[in-house]
Amino acid sequence: MENNKKYFEANKFAWDQRTEVHVKSDFYNVEAFKNGASTLEPMVKDELTEVKDKSILHLQCHFGMDTLSLARMGAKVTGVDLSSKSIEFAESLSKECQIPARFIQSNVLTLKETLDEKFDIVFTSFGAICWLPNIDEWAEIVSHFLKPGGTIYLAEFHPYLYMWDWDSKEIMYPYFCKGQVFHEKAEGTYTDGDKGLSYDEYFWIHAISDVHTALQNNNINIEFLHEFDYTPHECLSNLEKRADREFVYKINGHAIPAVFSMKGCKQ
Ligand SMILES: C[S@@+](CC[C@H](N)C(=O)[O-])C[C@H]1O[C@@H](n2cnc3c(N)ncnc32)[C@H](O)[C@@H]1O
């Protein structure tokens, strides 16, 4: 944790900046959410069923619309995020929409210091684990917060997609790079392009087998692992729309793996 402090500080700054733009973006469409729309992706709704009356810990909840969408389905929700701007906005949205929820500003990796509770479900999705240096540590934390018999559900961008420079369509990063930090000087954000934002960000790429093994090593039985050749979000350059909420990234005419999902049960 101490070793990575400068990375987390930079990433917090980056996500605070991004949040200010995201909450006003068409991409996130807060107005539609306020009018009752769910922000959960179709694959999440299909695969994470039975949330009614369940306690859910949503790790890296950003500004809370997925968390609150789960609450609208009858779950008792707690959202956690590193960005204080995200948490402030999530709390105001919860109040304005009168959806009960608890939000905690914390690094996932230090969450045990502020939260002492066990949950039926731990949920995390789309662009979350790449901000964490050590997937074994993450899996230990997931397991810690689950009740016996509880469920972890994860839907994430595929690590193979992260290998590509999305503009040039050249391979830019390795797949097998456990623990290796990558740095980018970013301008703008995925919702709006350049809005005068400029920041450093630090990220990590986790091979699917590392995520799978890390969960299994922490008493979690994997029920399924699915791979998808599309993303439900139009969030990178050079994506082609194939169907409603299906965007593909093609190399030599072939849609490459874009998303994976995993569900596991704590023993
Ligand atoms: C792409 S968003 C998550 C996506 C979410 N599904 C959404 O679009 O609403 C990534 C989130 O991870 C958070 N984050 C990054 N590093 C974190 C950390 N170490 N602990 C907790 N949250 C972190 C960021 O603040 C950001 O809100």
How confident is the model at residue 196, as a pLDDT?
A: 81
How confident is the model at residue 193, as a pLDDT?
A: 76
How confident is the model at residue 40, as a pLDDT?
A: 98
Q: To test the ligand 1 pocket, which listed residue (8, 21, 131, 199) has its Cβ within 8 A of the most ligand atoms?
A: 131
Tens digits of per-residue pLDDT, 172-196?
999 999 999 999 998 888 888 777 8
- Compute the distance from residue 124 Cα to the ligand 1 centre, in Å: 9
Q: Which pTM value belongs to this model? A: 0.97
How confident is the model at residue 188, as a pLDDT?
A: 87
Cβ neighbors of 75 (< 8 A, separation 6 or more) are 51, 52, 53, 54, 55, 56, 121
Helix (H) or strand (E) holding 78: strand 76-81
How confident is the model at residue 102, as a pLDDT?
A: 98
Question: What is the chain's mean pLDDT, rounded?
Answer: 96
Is the CB of 131 within 6 Å of ligand 1? yes
Q: To test the ligand 1 pocket, which listed residue (60, 156, 199, 236) has its Cβ within 8 A of the most ligand atoms?
A: 60
How confident is the model at residue 191, as a pLDDT?
A: 87
Over range 210-231, report the average pLDDT: 98
DSSP letter (8 states) at residue 19 = H
Residue 187 β-bridge partners: 198
Tens digits of per-residue pLDDT, 237-259?
999 999 999 999 999 999 999 99
- Compute the distance from residue 249 Cα to the ligand 1 centre, in Å: 23
Over range 126-155, report the average pLDDT: 98
- Compute the distance from residue 82 Cα to the ligand 1 centre, in Å: 7
* Residues 1/111, Cβ–Cβ less than 8 Å: no
Q: Report angle CA 43, 158, 172 to the nearest 5 degrees.
A: 150
pLDDT band at 2 (very low <50, low <70, confident <90, very high): confident
List the residue whose alpha carbon is closest to atom 13 of ligand 1: 60
For residues 240 and 21, what is the distance between their CA atoms, to the nearest angstrom? Answer: 24
- Return the SS3 of 61: coil
For residues 187 and 164, what is the distance between their CA atoms, to the nearest angstrom? Answer: 18
Tens digits of per-residue pLDDT, 74-120?
999 999 999 999 999 999 999 999 999 999 999 999 999 999 999 99
Is the CB of 15 within 6 Å of ligand 1? yes
CATH for 5-266 is 3.40.50.150
Each residue of 95-122: b (16+ CB within 10 Å) or e? eebebebbbebbbbbebeeebeeebbbb
Over range 143-152, report the average pLDDT: 98
Q: Are strands 146-157 and 259-266 parallel, antiparallel or unpaired?
A: antiparallel
**Domain ranges across the chain:** 5-266
Over range 158-163, report the average pLDDT: 98
77 class by beta-carbon count within 10 Å (0-12 exposed, 13-18 middle, 19+ buried) = buried
Q: To test the ligand 1 pocket, which listed residue (2, 15, 142, 191) has its Cβ within 8 A of the most ligand atoms?
A: 15
How confident is the model at residue 124, as a pLDDT?
A: 98
How confident is the model at residue 69, as a pLDDT?
A: 98
For residues 165 and 126, what is the distance between their CA atoms, to the nearest angstrom? Answer: 18
Over range 149-166, report the average pLDDT: 98
Is the CB of 39 within 6 Å of ligand 1? no
Over range 46-64, report the average pLDDT: 98
DSSP letter (8 states) at residue 133 = S
Percent of the residues in the chain that have a pLDDT greater than 70, as a whole number: 100
